[in-house]
Chains A and B, each alone.
Chain A
Amino acid sequence: MQDVWINGTAMAQTGRHYGLNADEMAARVLEEALKDAGYPEIEALFVASATAEQADKQQMLGAYIASRLGLDKIATYRVENADGSGGAALMAAAMAVRSGLYNCVGVVGVDKPNDVLSNQQQDIYSTATDAVYERYFGVTPAAQAAIMAKIYLAKYEYKYEDLALWPVLMHKNGASNPYAYMRKQAKVEDVLESELVSDPLRLYDVGPMADGAAAVVLCNKKGAAKLLGMWTSTSAIPFNNRPDYDVLYSAREAAERAYRMAGITPRDVATAEVHDSYSIFGVLAAEALGLAPRGGLLAALKSGADLKVNLSGGLKSRGNVMGATGVYQAVEVVWQLMGKSPFKRVDGSIGVVHSMGGVDKVSTVMVLGL
């Protein structure tokens, strides 16, 4: 078994990249990551994308990204797990290096949801729900997140104002991240006055869809950060028959297994980037990672705890870059551990990435260390 190191990292500012094709945008960022890694010879490229077919009419995106950089003869794979594609591609790439098959591989996440209209974004996002039993009836991830938020808030006797602390924290974190989409501070009142999207969730509870691309280079030789543990877990329970709606089963299992592999406990985590496509998922993911007891994260926020979670601003402020999200998160955590601008060095050497596809369908948790 080979050790897996992150040798190169790069990401693009998220937003509305109307002037770039998806393959072009991905190729530019991959080139930066390869440069950062000192141009190692990569033998394979793993591409994470959730929307390539639907927004950009492109399958086999890896082959076209390779064309843009002249990466002839390498293996290319496109990995799709909806908005959890990034974590899945990282996992696949890491397994390939760990197994000894490849010495060095590239991972690039790219999505351009702003190439389609807002209602078409909902069409795309709702394909992450069950096509027959959910999507057909107009169900979207937002509606499912809203139902979970309602149940969570009621169960732990929180008010909506308590949940609003999450987007406030995200905007505070994202305000100083030049790569983020929404770079302004927000007050609780801004959140409370924002429009309802799916009650109780308001506009500020929803990560805005953003175009983005991020890349890492994974090799079996020492690099900036080491992959200490990783696990992917699927929750096979249909949304309609979940025993509990106040927990992310996939995240809980993936975190437990990844922590065990890395030999760490939640107390070792100096920074975490979690998949808060909706604020409630940020809360539940942070709890699943053990950063707060079940039902206790909002209480921690209320008491002013200094949570090192989503220092990037998360999906709320950095933007929901769909399938690219997991790769962004990995880059962000590495930079936070290194103290690379725009991030200040965090107090510790262990960082965690939580990448999730759909509403608690598949989660990947990666533990990274300096």
Chain B
Amino acid sequence: MEHESVPLYWRNIPAYYRLVAKRCKKCGEVYYPPVVKCTKCGSAELEDYQLPHEGELVEFTVLRSVPTDFLKQKPLVIGLVKLGPVKVLGQIVDAMPEKLKPGQRMEVVFRRVVVDGKYGLVMYGYKFRPRP
């Protein structure tokens, strides 16, 4: 049985659950993953920024050789999705890969990501799917 780190999961809940990014208060640049200081203007004043939950598919691949946590979910569709000012990399679900096309509308969904064995934590997070 694996033992996933609870604090590691817990502290990333705002990103995992809601796609909370960081925005520079001074120049408005948006960062996901977040930065500690703005790499564009140097300001250390950053605020939470909610990424939109709809976007556009940039590119994707169907991954057949997967880590242990995902062995029962083969294949994984891994895609880059443009969400407002940034792109986000993640799983695409509820889709037939042969029908996916770059440029199509995608929506963010909330799904199980990792289940820590039979008795451990159920860990959730964002995934993407074609906008119905």
A residues whose Cβ falls under 8 Å from a Cβ of B: 118-120, 122-123, 126, 130-140, 142-144, 146-147, 150-151, 195-201, 206, 236, 238-241, 245
Asked whether A198 lies within 8 Å of B33 as measured between CB atoms, the reply is no
Q: Is B115 an interface residue (CB 8 A)?
A: no
Q: How far is the CB of A126 from chain B (nearest CB, A)?
A: 5
Residues of A within 8 A of B76 (CB): 138, 143
Asked whether A147 lies within 8 Å of B67 as measured between CB atoms, the reply is no
Asked whether B89 lies within 8 Å of A133 as measured between CB atoms, the reply is yes
Instruction: Tell me how many residues of B have a C-beta within 8 Å of chain A.
Output: 35
Q: Please, how many angstroms separate the alpha-carbon atoms of A68 and B113 in the complex?
A: 43
A198-B63, A198-B64 are known; give 12 further A-B pairs, CB within 8 A: A119-B66, A122-B67, A126-B67, A132-B12, A134-B89, A138-B63, A139-B89, A140-B65, A195-B64, A197-B63, A240-B88, A240-B89
B residues whose Cβ falls under 8 Å from a Cβ of A: 8, 12, 15-16, 32-33, 39, 59-71, 73, 76, 78, 80, 86-91, 113-114, 123, 125, 127
Residues of A within 8 A of B80 (CB): 147, 240
Q: How far is the CB of B49 from chain A (nearest CB, A)?
A: 14
Determine which residue in B78, B87, B127 has the highest number of CB atoms from chain A within 10 A of its CB, and name it.
Answer: B78
Q: How far is the CB of B60 from chain A (nearest CB, A)?
A: 7
Q: How far is the CB of A2 from chain B (nearest CB, A)?
A: 36
Residues of A within 8 A of B78 (CB): 137-139, 143, 146-147, 198
Residues of A within 8 A of B63 (CB): 138, 140, 142-143, 146, 197-198
Q: Which residue of A lies closest to B90 (CB)?
A: A137
Residues of B within 8 A of A199 (CB): 61-62
Q: Please, how many angstroms separate the alpha-carbon atoms of A139 and B12 in the complex?
A: 17
Say whether, besides A138-B76, A143-B78, A239 and B89 are in contact (CB < 8 Å). Answer: yes
Asked whether B65 lies within 8 Å of A136 as measured between CB atoms, the reply is no
Q: Sorted from nearest, which 5 A-B pairs have the closest CB atoms?
A: A146-B61, A143-B78, A240-B89, A198-B63, A138-B70
Asked whether A132 lies within 8 Å of B15 as measured between CB atoms, the reply is yes
Asked whether A197 lies within 8 Å of B64 as measured between CB atoms, the reply is yes
Residues of B within 8 A of A118 (CB): 65
* From B16, B71, B87, contact of A136 by CB (8 A): B16
